[in-house]
Chain A
Amino acid sequence: MRHIIPKTYREALEHLKSGSLHILAGGTDLMVQNRAWSETPVAFKKDTLYVYNLEELRYIEREGDMLHVGALASYDMLERHPDTPSALKRCIALLASPGLRRVATLAGNIGNASPAADGVLVLYALDARVVLDSADATREIPIEEAITGPGRTAFEDGEMIREIRIPLEDFDSERFKKVGGRKADAISKVSFLGAAAFDGDVIKDLRLALGAVNTTVVRRREIEAQYQGLTAADLKARSQEIREAYAPYVRPIDDQRSTATYRRQVALNLIEDYIHSL
């Protein structure tokens, strides 16, 4: 296996031309997934491109109503940045531990493509977009298109995330919930982000996203759209109907963390409770 430590981003992109590589950012997923015996090197199954020290990609910048998050900006940097959306800050506060947040990245959360990824859940709700570079092209895709299934992304060999773009919008109500085991380290059994903006009494924007209940994060814009323009009171009166609208998309699996029935109940309760809180 080859180990490539590029000195510049340009050099990294040139190396990516040579085929499928592990891109190691914070390493908090890759190091665990490829763990070998103690005292032996990590057993990567592909050639590895170590990008953690590419300072060029370690930035967070606001431009108008858009936040540009460089691929190597850590959760810790996001937590401290004044322009980070509060929904993302809520999620980061519950994500693992200070040591992990110091090195781990949102780009890695996307690249790992777990249906239980907390950062990705927030990115879905905030309409984030992902900018992918290769040695000779750049494209920008919505987060929903970036992730295609558990552990699967739409990235081509040769591409890597340069940055994540998050539109900055104000919400009047926000709730992030993670129902898991131990608060710090539990990768979610079920996670939820709800956000709403009102115009007077009328809902002008409603966003509901659920993690760990399907092969990717569940966000249904067509359902959200149906309830925009209603008052909070109307919405509450229809909470049961909203719950049922999501039921077909809540199709969790049994795994070592939880059973499907439990996850399903919890996920639908989270939606209903949030509607009642508005």
Chain B
Amino acid sequence: MADITFTLNGERITLREEPNLRFLDVLREKLNHTGAKEGCGEGECGACAILLDGHIVNSCLLPLASVDGRDVVTIEGYRMTERYQMLEKAFIEEGAVQCGICTPGMMIAAESMLRENPDPTDEEIRHGLAGNLCRCTGYNMIIAAIRRAAKEGEGLW
């Protein structure tokens, strides 16, 4: 057991848990944050994506120990932002959500990318989504949604 302290969606918390727990399980099982999903459990699909210090990481590959002292934002926290609202609207308008399993991860990937590159080309969007799989949409709608959010949300990122 170890005491691990971090901020989760702006709130500082300390947990006394096994440091070798996957952070994905900590979020889902201990903290009741089920927005991050388990797809592959091996870093290949991006369903478990979260923002660690503002940048996308795969929470299935992250042991709890590594989160100590860091800042975590999950889709639950990101939902509260204007940028999320813009992405959500664009995803709906472009039909970028079908079963929805990949969607939280796609939004996190989009946020991580747009933060650094507010005006990405399609190629750059694809590069930013390289770690996120979608079985349903064939990606084009997701790319269109991100392109639309970047355009309509100019100034937000």
Contact = CB atoms under 8 A, between A and B. Distances in A.
Interface of A: 1, 3, 5, 24, 26-28, 31-32, 35, 38-42, 44, 48, 50, 52-53, 76, 93, 96-100, 102-103, 183-185
User: Main SS of the interface on chain A?
Assistant: loop
A5 B28 CA distance: 23
Contact of B29 (A5, A31, A39, A97): A39
B43 interface: yes
10 contacts: A1-B20, A3-B18, A5-B19, A28-B43, A32-B43, A38-B25, A50-B19, A53-B68, A98-B127, A103-B61
Interface stretch (B8-16, B51-59, B73-81, B89-97): B51-59
B44 interface: yes
A40 B57 CA distance: 20
B62 A27 contact: yes
B135 to A, nearest CB: 14
When A and B form their complex, which 10 residue pairs have the shortest distance between CB atoms, in order from nearest? A97-B131, A184-B130, A50-B65, A52-B66, A41-B20, A99-B56, A3-B19, A97-B130, A99-B58, A31-B61
Contact of B112 (A5, A26, A31, A98): A98
User: Main SS of the interface on chain B?
Assistant: mixed
Contact of A53 (B42, B66, B127, B131): B66
Interface of B: 2, 18-22, 25, 28-29, 38, 41-44, 46, 49, 52, 55-58, 60-63, 65-66, 68-70, 109, 112-113, 127-128, 130-132
Nearest to B66: A52
Contact of B69 (A48, A53, A97): A53
A101 B25 CA distance: 22
A1 to B, nearest CB: 8
Contacts, number: 109
A103 B57 contact: yes
B109 to A, nearest CB: 7
Contacts of A32: 42-43, 61
Contacts of A52: 65-66
A38 to B, nearest CB: 6
Nearest to B18: A41
